[in-house]
């Protein structure tokens, strides 16, 4: 079982401050101090009188804090992991002479676009969890959320929570008003060329709110820098992804267990979703699904048709343990499918295995792409039901969402093709094969080790059959 971080207490303080850019008074951010151990004395807030137990008070040095609530039992990453990330991001900021980095809120693409804010603050999770982040070069980062008090007991990293009340730009400004900007350069994550969002993820209204109030600031696109940091996963991150793949594998097994002629398509899909939720995955998660005698393009939701004997199901199933999204592509069938699919499945997995064994640190993505094309040509059957079958492999980064690398064919970015693999990379690796009207895809989430690559899942490399 993945260990949970426990033993923390939270000291909550509220106050009223003047908005740094407007005359009207606004409710101040909620500020929390994360306490560890019974003898810990929190530093007092600037301008506040000494509270009981703090330096300068009659009770200085005494343990007078009552426990306001331990962290709730969620999957948590360690403070060492937090420090590792913050160090890497601040080193990148220093290289660009950036005083502060801002991450806008954006729950698009099944909350994949929310990844960077959560990466920096540990604040996030759930379909309506819009979170922006302010990450200064020096000082405490802030998370900006609507209903900020929800996060008091749901994360162990962020000690500065700002209430957005749906106005995330204003919430960000409340933090920026307390910071200094020696270089007058502020980074924005998601200005352009974000993973799966070439037009960026920063909303117009959000940006205009900041730019109207902060004059004389140079806005720097910090998208690539965050992408380069997040592409390498730590051991803690990989453990979360491996747990997510365990959930994905169980969801496929559950789908096969209820599959029979006459059952509704959406009931089978619903069983996979029930399993994903029961085993602790967050939602929403990315799911594509199609069933039929000759399925082709997967759909974003199931149909209301009754399953028929011989139906083959193609899908992409994602689970997110602690927000970390792993994905599997496992064909399954109601009874025996058309024999051509069995042959096509064998061809697809042969190409997958032949190229998977080549993956290693130091290999360029472009080099792997060329190896895939060569293996597909070499292994393509010269006779039989699937004569002349073609195959291609896609890879898409796995992590908190919108992770690199992404190799999906003609629209693959040049910088993804030019990347060189390193230990800690984690991505979905899936082979798609086609022969005439027949299509099939099989894939697993894999991680690059010090010497090669390893699968995180355990699904069979064959069509799963519900007899």
Residue 32 confidence (pLDDT): 36
Q: What pLDDT, in 10s, does the model give residues 364-415?
A: 999 999 999 999 999 999 999 999 999 999 999 999 998 889 988 777 889 8
The average pLDDT across 336-341 equals: 97
Q: Tell me the angle at which helices 339-356 and 365-379 cross, rounded to the nearest 10 degrees.
A: 140
- The DSSP letter of residue 300 is S
The more confident residue out of 13 and 391 is 391
Distance from chain centroid for Cα 398? 7
C-alpha angle with apex 212: 207 to 218, nearest 5 degrees? Answer: 70
Band of pLDDT at residue 11, cut at 50, 70 and 90: very low
List of long-range contacts for 379-388, beta carbons under 8 Å, 24+ apart: 379/347, 379/350, 379/351, 379/354, 380/347, 381/343, 381/347, 384/343, 385/339, 385/340, 385/343, 385/435, 386/340, 386/343, 386/344, 386/347, 386/433, 386/435, 386/436, 386/438, 387/435, 388/435
Cα gap 60→35, rounded to integer Å: 16
CA-wise closest residue to 418 among 426, 409, 429, 407 = 407
Average pLDDT of the chain is 86
Omega before 405 cis (within 30°)? yes
Residue 180 confidence (pLDDT): 92
Q: What pLDDT, in 10s, does the model give residues 88-138?
A: 999 999 999 999 999 999 888 888 879 999 999 999 998 778 999 999 999
Q: What pLDDT, in 10s, does the model give residues 136-153?
A: 999 999 999 998 988 988
Cα gap 121→106, rounded to integer Å: 15
Cα gap 59→62, rounded to integer Å: 6
With residue 447 as reference, give the H or E element that holds it: strand 438-448
Residue 201 confidence (pLDDT): 84
Cα gap 326→332, rounded to integer Å: 19
Band of pLDDT at residue 58, cut at 50, 70 and 90: low
Query: Please, which residues bridge with residue 221 across strands?
Result: 188
- CA torsion, points 212, 213, 216, 221, in degrees to nearest 10? -70
Q: Which two tokens stand for residue 218?
A: 């140079």
Least confident range of 223-237, 313-327, 409-423, 439-453: 409-423
Cα gap 466→360, rounded to integer Å: 36
Name the range with the highest mean pLDDT among 70-84, 151-165, 353-367: 353-367
Domains along the chain with CATH numbers: 72-230 (3.40.350.10), 235-466 (3.90.230.10)
Least confident range of 85-89, 339-343, 406-410, 423-427: 406-410
């Amino acid at each position: 079982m993945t260990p949970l971080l426990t033993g923390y207490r939270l000291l909550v303080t509220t106050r009223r401050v003047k908005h740094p850019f407007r005359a009207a008074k606004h409710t101040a951010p909620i500020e929390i101090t994360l306490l560890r151990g019974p003898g810990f004395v929190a530093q007092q807030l600037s301008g506040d009188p000494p509270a009981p137990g703090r330096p300068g008070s009659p009770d200085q040095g005494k343990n007078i804090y009552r426990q306001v609530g331990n962290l709730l039992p969620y999957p948590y990453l360690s403070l060492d992991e937090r420090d590792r990330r913050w160090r890497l991001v601040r080193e990148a900021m220093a290289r660009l002479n950036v005083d502060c980095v801002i991450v806008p809120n954006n729950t698009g693409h099944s909350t994949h676009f929310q990844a960077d804010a959560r990466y920096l603050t540990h604040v996030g999770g759930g379909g309506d969890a819009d979170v922006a982040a302010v990450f200064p070069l020096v000082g405490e980062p802030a998370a900006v959320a609507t209903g900020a008090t929800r996060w008091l007991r749901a994360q162990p990293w962020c000690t500065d929570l700002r209430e957005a009340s749906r106005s995330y730009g204003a919430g960000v400004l409340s933090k920026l008003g307390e910071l200094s900007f020696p270089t007058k350069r502020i980074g924005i994550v998601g200005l352009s060329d974000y993973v799966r969002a070439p037009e960026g993820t920063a909303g117009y209204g959000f940006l205009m709110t900041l730019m109207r109030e902060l004059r004389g600031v140079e806005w720097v696109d910090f998208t690539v820098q965050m992408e380069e940091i997040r592409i390498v996963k730590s051991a803690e991150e990989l453990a979360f992804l491996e747990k997510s793949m365990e959930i994905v594998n169980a969801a496929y097994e559950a789908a096969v267990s209820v599959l029979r002629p006459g059952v509704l398509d959406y009931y089978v899909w619903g069983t996979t979703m029930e399993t994903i939720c029961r085993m602790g995955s967050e939602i929403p998660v990315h799911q594509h699904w199609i069933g039929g005698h000759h399925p082709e393009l997967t759909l974003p939701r199931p149909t209301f048709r009754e399953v028929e004997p011989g139906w083959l199901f193609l899908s992409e199933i994602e689970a997110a343990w602690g927000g970390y999204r792993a994905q599997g592509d496992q064909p399954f069938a109601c009874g025996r499918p058309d024999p051509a699919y069995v042959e096509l499945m064998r061809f697809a997995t042969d190409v997958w295995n032949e190229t998977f064994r080549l993956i290693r640190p130091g290999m360029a993505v472009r080099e792997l792409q060329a190896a895939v094309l060569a293996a597909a040509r070499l292994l393509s059957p010269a006779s039989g039901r699937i004569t002349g079958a073609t195959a291609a492999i896609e890879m898409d980064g796995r992590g908190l969402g919108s992770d690199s690398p992404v190799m999906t064919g003609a629209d693959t970015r040049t910088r993804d093709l030019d990347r060189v693999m390193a230990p800690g990379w984690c991505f979905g690796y899936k082979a798609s094969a086609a022969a005439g009207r027949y299509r099939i895809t099989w894939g697993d989430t894999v991680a690059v080790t010090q010497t090669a690559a390893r699968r995180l899942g355990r699904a069979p490399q064959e069509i799963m059959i519900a007899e």
